[in-house]
Structure 1
């Protein structure tokens, strides 16, 4: 039948428009949060399951017209990532650019690969290979930590020690101990969550840093340990900044 034929058409439940995707995603989330029995979702007068259709395959479809809400919905529903609100617009433009360049719709797997390749666990040219923490109450009270890190920077191994107001701040200060390289950035925001419900699940962390001109760079870290996930996110953000602005200079 015609792709837009009611009930049976391939595209009858599809939403490509960013505003439609955002409304559908919010409606689905509202039903979940409120434990609603009746079907009430914008732009979807009936539950696609009632006629043998699937949400992720038939409803939120990603192409060059898609919006940040739909792309964030795909990453959350299929892969467990709760993308920070301030990060969604950047990811949306990036994924739409990939779709526009390739002149095709992107599957959820292709959306995830694009997201992973750009943001997750980027360890070049900086890679922290080991980090050991200890409490340091003499540094700004109860939140103080001291860290020993082994780090590979552009193929050369270094060992640094520093303290900070929290673990991530300590790691950042340790990186700044390098005399050959400049780490000129400031923290903007941080978020974290578990990717799965199990007790031994992986964790995801999101770090945003800003360069000297105020431009923001995001990094995402994944690891079974939430602390190591946060370190991976910081390193990923620094390496993304480096790719764009070459801020690491001898």
Structure 2
């Protein structure tokens, strides 16, 4: 039978301490409801005494959320505990989270105290909180740098005083994974009443080891993990919820530990928190980053297309992402291009695929990434019926103090024609040069330019509607050079005019 790990989410308390990430009460309720849908067991809703806004948020979240435990943070101070109890009065399952520093640094340099006095204050805080709620969690701040023997004394005393959860934070992200795991094991082996409480981890990411330390703690007996969405938090952040949950899911046969998390909601919740807190998720972030399930190397793409598990240890659907991304870049091979073409509904024989692939490589050298629109346009160029009029050469001179001039060479049924013209702008000059060659009385009724990927290196997609003797013809063109794309769109429309 598997063990159960409780997920304690502190996105709305520790996560919100990040400068610039503050949320209003309405936004906090929105996040809290998403966390409830996600399946977290405990929501740390705020630090009630810290501000009227935090107090109000804890009150309103307590009203809005049904089944998760709602937790309010306090210091080991009676007034803090009283205010937290008041803020939690509407919670169906309230918890007060109180504590004090237990490391040499905190005892002597932050609190100007001594170990015996700190132990006494810890016990008093738990006993006082117990008067208001049954569920009391105690945190030993900076436990990561606390001496294990003293930490064990404090943990045993607060459990005896009524603590239901004892939180062992690596507040400064100092521990190595084996050190943190050994610390949890020491408590399991040396605290007589440890079976009366749940051991919690609360790890920070200052050295990039928050998730590793949390997993080490779980492997040694911790059964509550304190985490945040996207790993947000003070300084380098907290342990990431999605990393811990998916580690347990992916390595279940080794760890044999379950959570209540509905993992298919992970990606959606990640995006919500990122948007509301204006905190972008780094592209290479584990589990929820833009590139977490993206493959651009031709070798990797070929492997994934043959069997996803060649390069993916998680199914993207498990975290709420529809499918892996086969990103088309200059490093992509024919297999990836063929796969994308098939998804878009194109079936090309080998010779046409080779032709499109050569054009694809030329475009990929100009762009960082090729999108579906780019591919469709490349296929259109290779598969559309032979055009009578083709753009052979285009040169434009333009600038702030220069009159725009264009020189155009067209191939019309195998014969070359040249013309030069000026215009109100470089596109107008190029179109005027084309008109000198084709001798068609056409009017441009609509001229629409769109960026496909919204970047400065993007392909410009041009749609042009032209009028010839009262009949409308539509032309399309695309190129990283918008003037070339415009001329191509104009010629595409001209080519659709029936030959007299």
TM-score, normalised relative to structure 2: 0.26
Between 1 and 2, higher relative CO (CA 8 Å, sep ≥ 6) is seen in 1
Q: Considering only CA atoms, is the larger Rg found in Structure 1 or Structure 2?
A: 2
More helix by share: 2
Give me the TM-score of the superposition, normalised by structure 1: 0.46
